[in-house]
Amino acid sequence: MKETIVVKIGGNASDQLPTTFFKQLETWWLEGKQILIIHGGGPQISQWSEKLQLPVKKINGIRVTNNETLNVTKAVLLGLVQPKLCQFIGNAGLPVIGLNASDNHLLEGKYLNQAEYGEVGQVTKINKKWLQEELQNQIGILAPLAQTHEGQWLNVNADMAAATIAIQLHAESLVLLTDVPGVLNSGKVVPKLTETVADDLFQQHIIKSGMMPKIKASFNALRNGVNQTFITNDLGRPGTQFQYVEK
């Protein structure tokens, strides 16, 4: 079985991908690795929501999503962000395919907490066999949207989705690519981070609430079989590597 690498790209990061990003993808591809990219689009979703005079609210880094915001989220992720990423990667000479939850029941989910977050879910099941077959011949670009068993679309936090999918694919690595070089303390990247240190930094308000879904997702992946997880702004640099220590 080929090694799988899951990369999550934030909405800000997707607009400013450096040359090293495409070089690293090419290196992994030539090494025979399967690559799945899960893309966010938070800034773009907020921008379009504001244009349409829809409320923009997050709780612990999770976007509160009513039906109108869900429609905007689908339109932005599937109509703007994903096609642009596919174009960038295709222009770099790499085979690529855009993917979403409706492809062969790819991502199934359930509500996270409908009373608090609205139309927001978590991934519970993936069509692993079909996805792995697709990744044999092309790099996958997947939107973090799921569907319930009944077909209702759900907005899913991209960091949480990436971790769950990495676990179910038994991925070798999960890389969360964002617009900062890693977890920062006094302006410097923390090279290695344990849960205990992360909790301390959060209590001291050094780690902000928007970073918490990324940190929780990274440790969740490590606890459940993903070999290594990182947060960085450049695939050519490791940034912060997460270390799971059994309590």
Number of neighbouring beta carbons within 10 Å of residue 74: 17
Q: Is 223 annotated as a binding residue?
A: no
Q: Express the helix, strand and coil content of the chain in percent, nearest 5 each.
A: 40, 25, 35
10 in Cβ contact with 179 (< 8 Å): yes
Number of neighbouring beta carbons within 10 Å of residue 181: 16
172 in Cβ contact with 5 (< 8 Å): yes
- What does the DSSP 8-state code read for residue 41? -
Is the CA virtual torsion 145, 147, 152, 156 positive or negative?
Answer: negative
Between CA 38 and CA 99 the distance in angstroms is 9
Q: Is 237 annotated as a binding residue?
A: no
Contacts of 27 by beta carbon, 8 Å cutoff, 6+ apart: none
Q: Is 121 annotated as a binding residue?
A: no
Q: Is 63 annotated as a binding residue?
A: yes
DSSP 166-232: HHHTT-SEEEEE-SSSSSEETTEE-SEE-HHHHHHHHHTTSS-GGGHHHHHHHHHHHHTT-SEEEEE
Residues at the binding site for substrate are 41-42, 63, 155
Known binding-site positions: 41-42, 63, 155
